[in-house]
Amino acid sequence: MPSEEESAEGAEDGRMSHSIELASSGRAKCRGCGVAIGKGELRFGERLENPFANGEMTVWFHLDCAAFKRPESFLETLAGREEALEDRERLESEARLGLEHRRMPRVNGAERATSGRAKCRSCHGVIAKGAWRIPLVFWEEGRFAPSGFIHAGCARAYLDTTDVMSRVRRFSPGLSEGELEELSGELEGMASDASS
């Protein structure tokens, strides 16, 4: 019997297809944020070649996490879905932003640097202890692998946009409103500096 992670409806050509469906249990964890997807919650299932065995596997995401981190396959699947979907317009907009700015799916929240040792992947300078930084991840073999950081102030140069706060809120749920406002102000300051 296939596990929940490996189950999905078959496509006509015998290949499995991506899906948006209700979670049948609360066991599957989202590949985007690592949090369990609640039973009965809508989720996105992406079919991939299994890098560890023959055949395919399904990796599951919360809808927001899929829009933020797997925009191409999420939009493909959303386009084929005729049923009404709450928040569809916002999800499509976030996924399109990820396609327009090819590095956006790498954003994995924001945090204060815990040491002064990490270097920024954009400017290659050291990120000072206590400075805001944006952790990055790369998609490899059906998982996200940590891939360094950028200064919050390097967001425009690295991502070609400073519109990252919805992703920061999603992937750094422990940040307070004050911290989010501070980070947002820093990003807005960079945006206004770039336009002057």
Specify the pLDDT at position 168: 98
Query: Can you give the residue ranges of every domain in the chain?
Result: 4-100, 104-195
Residue 57 pLDDT exceeds 50? yes
**CA 148, CA 83: separation in Å to the nearest integer?**
39
DSSP string, 101-168: STTGGGB---EE-SSS--BBTTT--B--TT-EEEEEEEEETTEEEEEEEEEGGGHHHHHS----HHHH
- How much is the pLDDT for 191? 54
Looking at residue 2, its pLDDT comes to 37
The larger pLDDT score, comparing residue 94 to residue 142, is at 94
What CATH number does domain 4-100 carry, 3.40.630.10, 3.40.50.2300, 3.30.1740.10, 1.10.10.10? 3.30.1740.10
Mean pLDDT of 122-139: 97
- The pTM (predicted TM-score) of the whole model is 0.85
Structure tokens at 196: 């002057």
User: What phi, psi does 8 have (nearest 5°)?
Assistant: -170, 165
Superfamily of domain 104-195 in CATH is Zinc finger, PARP-type (3.30.1740.10)
In this predicted structure, what is the pLDDT of residue 195?
52
Q: Do 104-195 and 4-100 fall under one CATH topology?
A: yes
Measured CA to CA, the distance from residue 92 to residue 73 in angstroms comes to 12
Using 50, 70 and 90 to split pLDDT, how confident is the model at 6? very low
Summarised one tens digit per residue, pLDDT across range 154-179 is: 999 999 999 999 999 999 999 999 99
pLDDT on residue 190: 63
